[in-house]
Amino acid sequence: MKKIPHKNILLFKSCLVNVEYPGVESSTRYIFDKMGVEYRVDPDQSCCTGLGYYYDLFDQLSTTALAVRNFYLARRSGHENITTLCSTCYAIMKKTIKLLNSNENARQEVNDILKKAGLSHMQYQAGDLSSEHNIFHVVEVFHSLKEKISKEIKLDLSGIKIASHHACHYCKVYPEDSITPSRNPMVLDELSSSCGAQVVDWYDFKKATCGAGFSQRFANRDLSLSATADKLLALEGEADLLLHMCPNCQMQLDRYQPVLEKELGRKLNLTHLNIAQLMALAMGADPYKIAGIQTHSVPLEGLLEKIKNKSPVE
């Protein structure tokens, strides 16, 4: 089991968290602050390019060179434990380090690019970082703190059924690095049960994609929605809330659920939250000032009301 850090963390900003679910970042920071996790958000950090990489637009070397610049920022500030809010950032950076550490040609080409850009001081030497020991997803930090977090839970979640969607780019790109078995991912389930919720555990298509498919969402909307429908229909009547760990999946399932509902002509009665949002809420965070639920497409007010009615009044 890999060692999960609680300090020297570079909390890596995500493009889709920024503009779709900013509450994911504020919730994470809320939890980190309460748990005494030492982290930094770097204003100079550029985005991982992941969407562009999987739109087939970015080439490996450009993505890698930009990552090396971000690694430099992390090293410069002594925050080498790069921890992501998004599963694609996680996979992109792992891929980058693996490539740089194992492929001398690629490393040389990337260092040449940096040199040509006048950034020789940022160059990467083999072994500067390790894919296993420097790249984390925030859920891993939460998971390592779950006993401590469970003591801070103020809401009674026992009345709601929670299912989880483990992002593909966390579980399947580097399955060996996942902290619960990648064929049966349980990180989110274990976290939600430590918050006192009823866990749905398995459901058909649990491991399947959200359907975003990067370019598919835009270029192949119907195909994309078919996959999204597989997942949402499998959960119909099974869960009140679907937990996320990736803003892209969250966007796909939260924003397209009403679209599908319109096509189906019925409500699916499922809500969506990122694990950080759920845990922050359960710890007492404000739904709008911290968890940022106002940016969601499927309203969460009903669910929160249901939880509140069950929870003891402070």
Q: List binders of other proteins among 49-108 (CB under 8 A).
A: 49-52, 54-62, 64-66, 69, 98-99, 102-103, 105-106
Cβ at position 272, least distance to other proteins in Å:
14
* Closer CB to other proteins, 175 or 310, in the complex: 175
Binders of other proteins in range 192-211 (CB under 8 A) = 202, 204, 207-209, 211
**Closest distance between other proteins and the C-beta of residue 42, in Å?**
9
Q: 132, 156, 190, 230: which one contacts other proteins (CB under 8 A)?
A: 230
Q: Output phi, psi for 242, to 5 deg.
A: -110, 125
- Chosen residue from 7, 38, 41, 308 binding other proteins by CB under 8 A: 41
Interface characters, 140-159, with other proteins (x: CB under 8 A): --------------------
Q: Give, in order, the Cα–Cα distances in Å from 311 to each of 191, 305, 307, 308.
A: 19, 10, 6, 5
Tokens for 169, please give them. Answer: 């780019």
Closer residue to other proteins, CB minimum distance, 118 or 312: 118
Answer for the pair 246, 278: CB distance below 8 angstroms, yes or no: no
Contact 24, 277 (CB under 8 A): yes
Question: What's the gap between Cα 69 and its chain centre?
Answer: 22
Binding mask 252-291 for other proteins (x = CB under 8 A): ---xx-xx----------------------------xxx-
Footprint of other proteins on residues 101-140 (CB under 8 A)? 102-103, 105-106, 113-114, 116-119
In the set 44, 104, 301, 305, which binds other proteins (CB under 8 A)? 44
The whole-angstrom separation of Cα 263 and Cα 217 is 17
List C-alpha distances in Å: 59 to 51, 119, 180, 201, 311: 12, 20, 31, 38, 51
Name the minimum Å distance from CB 151 to other proteins.
25
Q: How many residues bind other proteins (CB under 8 A)?
A: 85
Closest approach of other proteins to the CB of residue 194, in Å:
21
Minimum separation from the CB atom of position 106 to other proteins (A): 5
Q: Which of residues 8-37 bind other proteins (CB under 8 A)?
A: 13, 15, 18-19, 22-23, 25-26, 29
The only residue of 131, 216, 271, 277 in contact with other proteins, by rule CB under 8 A = 216
Region of 48-56, 74-82, 238-246, 265-273 interacting with other proteins (CB under 8 A): 48-56
- Work out which of 120, 158, 226, 309 binds other proteins, going by CB under 8 A: 226
- In the complex, the smallest distance separating the C-beta of residue 156 from other proteins, rounded to whole angstroms, is 25
Binding to other proteins, residues 157-186 (CB under 8 A): 168-169, 171-173, 175-176, 181-184
Give the whole-angstrom CA distance, residue 201 versus residue 184.
10
In whole angstroms, how close is the CB of 56 to other proteins at the nearest point?
5
